[in-house]
Structure 1
Amino acid sequence: MTVTQPSPTESAGAVISHADDEIELVPPDSLTAELTGRFTFLPVNGAAFVMQVMHPTIGDIVGKYSVFRTDPLGRAVRSIDSVLRWVYGGTEAINEGKRLRRMHQPLQMRNAQGDHISALNPEAYQWVIATAFPTSCSAAPLILGREFTAAERDEVFRDNRRIAKIVQVPMRGYPESIEEFWPYYDDMVENTLIAHPVALDLIAQMKAAPRLDGVVPPAVLRPVNAIARVAAVPVQKLNYLTTVGVMEPRVREILGLSWSADEQRELERIHSAIRLSYRVLPERLTYFPLAYHARRHHIALQAMKRREGAGAAYRVAARADLGGDGQDPPTKL
């Protein structure tokens, strides 16, 4: 019997979980779109990433295939590029989701127990996106100066499910409501997450000065690295304190991380100053370029729609909709 092998195109298509018409984009005026593109939201993404690699499958796959040890800056830039496209890329978000799904298809291996594991394991792939919701909720008092309202939590959760579909997460078993989410989350924390070596490496990396090998010419590498060690101290502190601070105590306990009242106060002081700066600085200086331009684009379109509504034809149409004859009323002299 002849076995027909699927073509590369068919194999690639098989990993796609959602057709384009099943996917809803993140609304450009949503709270998710307001927060995700801020430079200071990066450490919150870092907290989510650490929690992701605490899942044994994700940790093993990242440990084998990721370049986060040899090219941490490049890896971080590429990761945030992808996240920004999910939220601000318009229809490009859908293409990026498909690209990610196909990119992860060949990432397979045998773990230490000899079991075959894959980056597309549904439980693991779901957890990657799920981590964004609890970290966003924990970070709200730092980013906004207050907790999310119930309506805001609902909105952020809806956007989390939108993003899950954008990046082609299989939705069977994915929480459909906040009420379903927290038992799912508790089960993952209590029964699945571990102090994976990759997670511990990421935490240690946050405390170390970034090296710019391969980023700057070799002739100036030594002085530039020396400058980076000093200049990076405030950024390292913000990154470490925010990443660890938004984790709940059970997650920190798994990782063996301590957290003091002094660290909490310092974290709150730093973010209080950041919130003040966000009130006075122009958005161009506080948002990633794609986020800034996407937000400006949306504001410009909304302004155009408001101007359109002032046109005479719109007024005539509105009167017709209300049962009028579409004619201007007689003028009283």
Structure 2
Amino acid sequence: MESVAGKQNITIIDVAQKAGLSSATAGRVLGGYGNVSEKARLKVMKAAKELGYMPNAIAQSMKSQVTKTIGVLVGNIANPFFSEIIHSIEVKGAEAGYSVIIANTGEDIDEEVKAIKTLYAKRIDGLIIATAQPNDMILDASKKRLYAGDVPVVYIDRELLNVNELIIKADNFSGSYEATRYLIQKGHENIGLIASIFTSTMYERIDGYKKALSDAGMPCHKEYIKIGSTASVEEGNRFTKELLAQSAELTALFVLNNITCTGALLALREMNKKIGRDISFIAWDDFELAKILDPPLTTVTQDPKKMGELAAEKLFEKINAKRENKEWFGESTIVLKTQMIERQSCRDINLLK
């Protein structure tokens, strides 16, 4: 006869028999509900440990309506910015006992909608979204219900105009304004701007660029601005070549995405343009190579680690509030400061005048 300890699937009944208690008592202890004496609790936990009892997570979630799983939806998991956000969310999730399901949409709106529906079908407890929807997109009623969610939702980096959910983002406007003003102070009047997909994030950065020019009494030339359909090395390469071919008077480039930046750097090398001599250059997002390139790049840095940590913490707060049938009274917007790191990629052309 096979012993209980030799069974592949240990049940609550087995644990109860070993502890010498009823299965109802064992169920309350292992399920974490109801009133049980400390003596009984210790007996059940000791028996469960000796038998190697593992609770059925699926069964538990069906009873409690809690899966201890959250979804994270991003446009491009290959982007180091999003990779770091995801990692920090996973760390916070593990600390809180949550599993994390990642959905990568490739910055495709249709794929994003499908991914959200798929995540809901998996009965996630909450959702963190970095949307690919355009900044000016006004969602219809059905889409709004989808993006507002039947579960707690937190937006990161990018927001939607008519979705009333918490957004955690960098101070894109101020970061871009500061970088553009820095170039202006170094005597640059013709500054090219390369942006990627037109989300709220890019809109704010472009706005900061335009405001810095306006405050300096300088015109904003539309032909100096390139906005891509996605964030890609190919578009960064092509836009850089187009800008410098069409506007030879440009003395500086400001690139608003780290993947697009790679393409811009490749284009400058292919065109034999020396950064800091032939063209000044600022990149959005600091990255390891920026420090060791020749010359090292001036960058605007944000804090994806902090963004991910806050997103997870706030989502768990919202999940807990919903579980307790309470309203969550947290912030509607959290804006994290950016920082410009000055290196040697920007020439002071005041010295040439």
User: Normalised by the shorter chain, which TM-score bucket?
Assistant: under 0.3
Which structure: larger Rg?
A: 2
Question: What TM-score, normalized by structure 2, do the two folds share?
Answer: 0.21
- Higher RCO (CA 8 Å, separation ≥ 6 residues): 1
Between structures 1 and 2, the one with greater helix share = 1
